[in-house]
Amino acid sequence: QVIKCKAAVLWEANKPFSIEEIEVAPPKAHEVRIKIVASGICRSDDHVVTGGLVKAFPIILGHEAAGIVESVGQGVTSVKPGDKVIPLFVPQCGECNSCLSTKGNLCSKNDIGADAGLMPDGTTRFTCKGKPINHFIGTSTFTEYTVVHEYAVAKIDSAAPLEKVCLIGCGFSTGYGAAVQTAKVEPGSTCAVFGLGGVGLSVVMGCKAAGASRIIAVDINSDKFAKAKELGATDCVNPKDFKKPIHEVLIEMTGQGVDYSFEVIGRTETMTAALACCQYNYGVSVIVGVPPAAQKITFDPMVLFTGRTWKGSVFGGWKSKDAVPKLVDDYMKKKFVLDPLITHTLPFTKINEGFDLLRAGK
């Protein structure tokens, strides 16, 4: 059956979301239709609104969510109606080079770099006012019902609180994994984290869990420092308080730079600063924030020649279908907290207010 429900449709760039009645088609073979219970708001969604991440309109955004399987298409075996699930914006097909490699996690079936905005068969499951609406990175969670491919959904513990574990669908896993999986932070090491939003705070938690002795949190909004300290930051630095470039400040604070740095904002200036502030020979800098479209980085290659490593991390390096259920289990066993990352809980119809809060750094 076609389901009629509410969704937040973005008709064009730099406009508010419009709450519309949409039709959601039934799942085709190897697809799953999900009733979304809770969805987080992520800066990557806002990058589409502002044009920093280029996608085709109209579109239903959202990629950090949890819900309940409503129905499944032919041939689906990993989930059944009634299961609690998390949609995966980084799928895991289990067959491509990245899925088969122990070194990678960015499944070739992902729709992050592509502008497709469609299901794998090249069509959409959403219509509104007779018009087809695009999907977003294989998930589209700003709707009461969505359809995803079976390789882009993970079944989780039936006791998990969906309004908390939805963060494991992106923000928490992305940040925490960047520290423990991508960088592989070691006990006693020093770290710098640029950007203290939900993902940056999750990096701080990952560095702490990995046993870092010093975690320097960097943000131009000092209001974020108390929470960063609560979650494990040992020092907090506001670049606005200094005349000199922030990488010089961090090198002075640590003697020769940090062992690991993380850029969790998505700005080219902070990416180069994060690289420059890590130890000149064996420092590792990880790009976690989505880079803005059409911007290029220029830097002195000597910064890398001396031995530094510059890496990217998508979804914290986790193989999504395998890792997400385990991360939910770890949360249920109280191995990490999610509550401090949740600042506001709003009804779905107030999604525009949620984005205003995000843009205001709240």
For this structure, is 149 an active site residue? Answer: no
For this structure, is 236 an active site residue? Answer: no
Q: In what order do the strands lie in the sheet with 126-128?
A: 3-9, 18-24, 126-128, 131-133
Task: Kindly state the DSSP code that residue 122 receives in the 8-state scheme.
Answer: S
Q: How far apart are CA 247 and CA 300, in angstroms?
A: 14
Q: Of the listed 47, 135, 149, 247, which one is catalytic? A: 47
**Sequence-ordered strand ranges (E) for the chain:** 3-9, 18-24, 31-39, 65-72, 84-87, 126-128, 131-133, 145-149, 153-155, 190-194, 214-218, 235-237, 260-263, 284-287, 309-312
Q: How far apart are CA 166 and CA 181, in angstroms?
A: 20
For this structure, is 170 an active site residue? Answer: yes
Q: Of the listed 39, 42, 173, 191, which one is catalytic? A: 42
Q: Of the listed 39, 44, 140, 261, which one is catalytic? A: 44
For this structure, is 47 an active site residue? Answer: yes
Q: Per the structure block, which two tokens stand in for 261?
A: 């740095």
Q: Of the listed 99, 107, 166, 170, which one is catalytic? A: 170
For this structure, is 42 an active site residue? Answer: yes
Q: How far apart are CA 76 and CA 78, in angstroms?
A: 6
Q: Of the listed 63, 135, 149, 247, which one is catalytic? A: 63
Q: Per the structure block, which two tokens stand in for 271?
A: 């990416």
Q: Are 286 and 260 in contact (CB under 8 A)?
A: yes
| Positions marked catalytic | 42, 44, 47, 63, 170
